[in-house]
Amino acid sequence: MPETGTPTIPVWDKFIRVFHWALVIGVSTAAVSGFLLRPTWINLHIWAGVTAAALLLARVLWGIWGSKNARFSGFVKGPHEVLTHVKELRKGKAARHLGHNPLGALMIIALLGTVFLLLLTGMAGLGGVFKTGPLGFVTDFSIGSFTLSVHYLLAIFLLVLVGLHIAGAVFEGLRTKENLVKSMVTGEKEARKGDHDVPEVSARPLWVIVIFGAFMGGLVWLWIFFSAVPSFGVPAPVPNPAYADECSACHMAYPPSLLPAKNWGSLMVALDDHFGEDASLGQAATDEITTWLFENAADSVDTKPAHVFSRTNPEAPLAITATPFWKNTHRNIPDAVFARPPIYDNGNCVACHSDAESGAFYPANISIPKETTP
Q: What is the dihedral of CA 7, 68, 88, 96, to 10 degrees?
A: 10
Q: Does 250 bind another protein (CB under 8 A)?
A: yes
Q: Which residues, including other chains, have CB under 8 Å from residue 344's CB and lie 6 or more apart?
A: 338, 351
Q: Does 138 bind another protein (CB under 8 A)?
A: no
Q: How many residues bind another protein (CB under 8 A)?
A: 24
Whole-number Cα distances in Å, 330 to 247, 303, 368? 25, 19, 12
Q: Does 348 bind another protein (CB under 8 A)?
A: yes
- Least distance CB 248 / another protein (angstroms): 7
Buried b (16+ CB within 10 A) or exposed e, 112-141: bebbbbbbebbbbbbbbbbbbbbbbbebeb
Q: In this complex, which beta carbon is closest to another protein, that of residue 9 or of residue 250?
A: 250
CA separation for the pair 49, 116 (Å, rounded): 10
Q: In this complex, which beta carbon is closest to another protein, that of residue 88 or of residue 345?
A: 345
- With CB under 8 A as the contact rule, the residue among 36, 206, 238, 249 that binds another protein is 249
Other Cβ atoms closer than 10 A to 339 = 11
Start-end of H helices in the chain = 14-31, 42-65, 72-75, 79-91, 102-130, 141-176, 180-186, 205-227, 241-246, 261-268, 283-295, 304-309, 324-329, 335-339
Q: In this complex, which beta carbon is closest to another protein, that of residue 156 or of residue 333?
A: 333
- Least distance CB 329 / another protein (angstroms): 19
Other Cβ atoms closer than 10 A to 54 = 18
CA separation for the pair 181, 119 (Å, rounded): 27
CA separation for the pair 261, 253 (Å, rounded): 16
Q: In this complex, which beta carbon is closest to another protein, that of residue 132 or of residue 348?
A: 348
Q: Pairing state of beta strands 188-190 and 8-10?
A: antiparallel
Q: Does 342 bind another protein (CB under 8 A)?
A: yes
- Least distance CB 279 / another protein (angstroms): 6
- With CB under 8 A as the contact rule, the residue among 5, 241, 314, 374 that binds another protein is 374
Which residues inside 293-332 make contact with another protein, applying CB under 8 A? none
CA separation for the pair 365, 358 (Å, rounded): 12
- With CB under 8 A as the contact rule, the residue among 165, 251, 288, 364 that binds another protein is 251
Q: Does 280 bind another protein (CB under 8 A)?
A: yes
Q: In this complex, which beta carbon is closest to another protein, that of residue 53 or of residue 281?
A: 281
Residue span binding another protein (CB under 8 A) among the ranges 112-120, 155-163, 172-180, 272-280: 272-280
Q: In this complex, which beta carbon is closest to another protein, that of residue 196 or of residue 251?
A: 251
Q: Does 351 bind another protein (CB under 8 A)?
A: yes
Whole-number Cα distances in Å, 161 to 11, 54, 108, 112? 23, 20, 10, 11
DSSP for 82-142?
HHHHHHHHHHT-PPPBSS--HHHHHHHHHHHHHHHHHHHHHHHHHHHHH--STTTTT--HH
- With CB under 8 A as the contact rule, the residue among 221, 316, 344, 367 that binds another protein is 344
- With CB under 8 A as the contact rule, the residue among 345, 367, 368, 371 that binds another protein is 345
Q: In this complex, which beta carbon is closest to another protein, that of residue 101 or of residue 346?
A: 346
Q: Does 88 bind another protein (CB under 8 A)?
A: no
Which neighbouring-strand residues pair with 182?
A: none
Longest Cα–Cα distance of the chain, Å, equals: 95
Q: Does 367 bind another protein (CB under 8 A)?
A: no
Residue span binding another protein (CB under 8 A) among the ranges 84-92, 98-106, 133-141, 339-347: 339-347
Q: Does 248 bind another protein (CB under 8 A)?
A: yes
Residue span binding another protein (CB under 8 A) among the ranges 32-40, 129-137, 244-252, 324-332: 244-252
- With CB under 8 A as the contact rule, the residue among 187, 235, 317, 347 that binds another protein is 347
Binding site for another protein (CB under 8 A): 248-252, 272-273, 275-282, 341-345, 347-348, 351, 374
